[in-house]
Amino acid sequence: MLQAIGLTSAPRRDLTPAVDDLTFEARPGCVTALLGAPGAGKTTALRLMLDLERGRGVTYFRGRPLHRIAHPARELGVLLGDVPGHPARTARGQLRMLCAAAGVPASRADELLEVVGLTALRDEPLGALSLGMDRRLGLASALLGDPHTLLLDAPSAGLSPRETSWLFGLLAAHAAHGGTVLYTTDDPKEAARTADRVVTVDGGRLVADQDRAAFSRTRLRPRVAVRTPHAARLADALSREARASKRSVEVIAEAGSRLTVYGSSCPEIGETAFRHGVLVHQLADEIGDTGPVPPLIPAPTTPAARQEAYDSRPVPRPRALASRPARSPLRPVRYELRRMLGVRTAPVVAAAVLVASVALAVPLARTGGTPLPGLLAAWPDLLPLPPAALGAGLLGALSFGDEFRYPALAGARGTVPRRLGLLLAKLAVTAGSALLLAALVVVADAGALRLAYGADAAPVPHNWTALAAGWALLAVGCAWAGLLGAGVFRVTAAGMAAVLAVPVAVVPLVQKALAGPSARSIVGLPGRLRELAWPAWPHQADRWLLATVRLIAQPVAAALTLSLLALLCAYLLTGLRRRARW
């Protein structure tokens, strides 16, 4: 049962609200249509139900408001517009990623692809799908969590009659198994043909709440359908007799020798055809459209049968209630991995970094003016950062900037949610990708140098552990700087600007700050920390602690640390400000 009570939008100053004190309900086992002309407030009403629009009122989903549902995807399926997602991601990859967001097994994606008839197109990118296939994928996305309630905004807009028939057959089957379906439409004929109950709104206010029979009888114009091989003769005869008797009769000629007559009845039209000797093949009263669309799956049609199907549904086990719905992924690490690996961007960036690194390392070794660490990192003095660090920063920036362009969780919710779990998952995945990229660059450069100049060209440095630690920290720091920079501004270019600002702007400032004479020394820091610490650590850890402090004290490392702290504070502040606004 869906109950919307007192929904009222919050308009701008001196404007009337798009939805004004709208109250209605959608019952389980029924398909309910929210009918209204364009601009009547249908979409705004749906957004108010989903807490996507500012306003007043409350909506109960089986007795609970949305903010008291722990996992909304398992209670509510939503389709507002097209499927949000990267156009290069496949249909199967999109659903598997959303499975991680909804906390359901990945096998659910293949099941729903078969249900919506997209098994043959599972490996097709989203950008290549037609409108009908995209709408099918949207329904599969809404059904991932096996929800009880479906909310759809104009689901049949732009679809062919065949796709429309399939769509409403699926909705009728969902309602037949005890589910609640609410969709919006501006076509009264479609509402009369496909819905069990029609809620009519106008100007944001409730006009009528009727079942299909009452709606068709009171709000649709009745007509008579006539089929005859002499359509022109019969239309002329009906028009002449109507003018003679001064009656308002409208005759519309349609394709296939068909006439639609408004303002008359079957007996009157039959008598006119008999008097003029016109052969009639069909003569029938019609209200609404030409008839109901047969569902794909046999569905109970009587209220008693639907109530029995609803009562026979398994009762869900009670779940812990949360103060806010979980709008971030329930399995954030899986979600982030599938998001990153679902498109070719990450492999292309990695391949470009490897090619650029090898192309720089080989000429640098020939000149002989670059030390071995610079050769292995492919970092000439002319570049502010090596290609691996720039590639890691780009991967980090894409994780928020690219996702902002193609939101994968829910397009109608706007941006990707600023949740701590999602941020930690992104930090972990980008750090792992940065470390992998850094290791591949070193291996590729060493292999290229040994291949070009022999084994002596790339020996193992004696201080390789310190160099490896510094190289890993540089790659991870650049990846996190790109991630946080893009997370603050939701633009990929902002993330790359944050990465480039470290060597270009922050490092010179740090060097100036450290250029003066030092009056204090950190000698003895491990001993002082040992005195303050409650648990005792082994003395071998003192050497690693001093090495870490010396590494952070380097200008590039200090600049990167300061930049990360500033970006993290900015990210948290923007997230808190957004929450306070809402």
In terms of pLDDT, which residue wins out, 560 or 309?
560
Q: Say if domain 2-219 classifies as CATH 3.20.20.70.
A: no
User: Mean per-residue pLDDT for 375-397?
Assistant: 92
pLDDT attached to residue 72 = 86
pLDDT at 544 over 90: no
pLDDT at 474 over 70: yes
pLDDT attached to residue 189 = 85
In terms of pLDDT, which residue wins out, 221 or 364?
364
- Please write the tens of the pLDDT for every residue from 125-167: 999 999 999 999 999 999 999 999 999 999 999 999 999 999 9
- Please write the tens of the pLDDT for every residue from 328-375: 788 999 999 999 999 999 999 999 999 999 999 999 988 878 888 889
Alpha helices in 286-419 (DSSP H): 303-311, 332-341, 345-367, 372-377, 387-405
Separation between Cα atoms, residue 147 and residue 159, nearest integer Å:
24
pLDDT at 258 over 50: yes
Q: What are the tokens at 103?
A: 């906390």
User: Mean per-residue pLDDT for 440-447?
Assistant: 94
- The CATH architecture annotation of domain 223-286 reads 2-Layer Sandwich (3.30)
pLDDT at 271 over 70: yes
In terms of pLDDT, which residue wins out, 474 or 216?
474
Query: Is residue 92 within 8 Å of 123, Cβ to Cβ?
Result: yes
Out of 104-113, 170-179, 569-578, pick the least confident: 569-578
Q: Residue 19: which pLDDT band, with cuts at 50, 70 and 90?
A: very high
Q: In this structure, how many other beta carbons lie within 10 angstroms of the beta carbon of residue 430?
A: 27
Average pLDDT, the chain: 84
Q: Output the 3-class SS for 539-559.
A: CHHHHHHHHHHHHHCCHHHHH
Q: What percent of the chain has pLDDT over 90?
A: 53
User: Mean per-residue pLDDT for 59-67?
Assistant: 91
pLDDT attached to residue 149 = 95
User: Mean per-residue pLDDT for 458-481?
Assistant: 88
Determine what percent of the chain falls in helix, strand and coil, rounding each to the nearest 5.
55, 15, 35
User: Mean per-residue pLDDT for 534-556?
Assistant: 58
pLDDT at 533 over 70: no
Q: Output the 3-class SS for 391-440.
A: HHHHHHHHHHHHHHHCCCCCHHHCCCCCCHHHHHHHHHHHHHHHHHHHHH
* E strand or H helix at 199: strand 197-202
Domain ranges of the chain: 2-219, 223-286, 332-581
- Please write the tens of the pLDDT for every residue from 292-322: 333 333 444 444 444 444 444 433 333 333 3
pLDDT attached to residue 417 = 76
pLDDT at 550 over 80: no
pLDDT at 520 over 80: no
Q: What are the tokens at 16?
A: 């009337």
- Please write the tens of the pLDDT for every residue from 483-517: 999 999 889 999 999 999 988 888 788 777 666 66
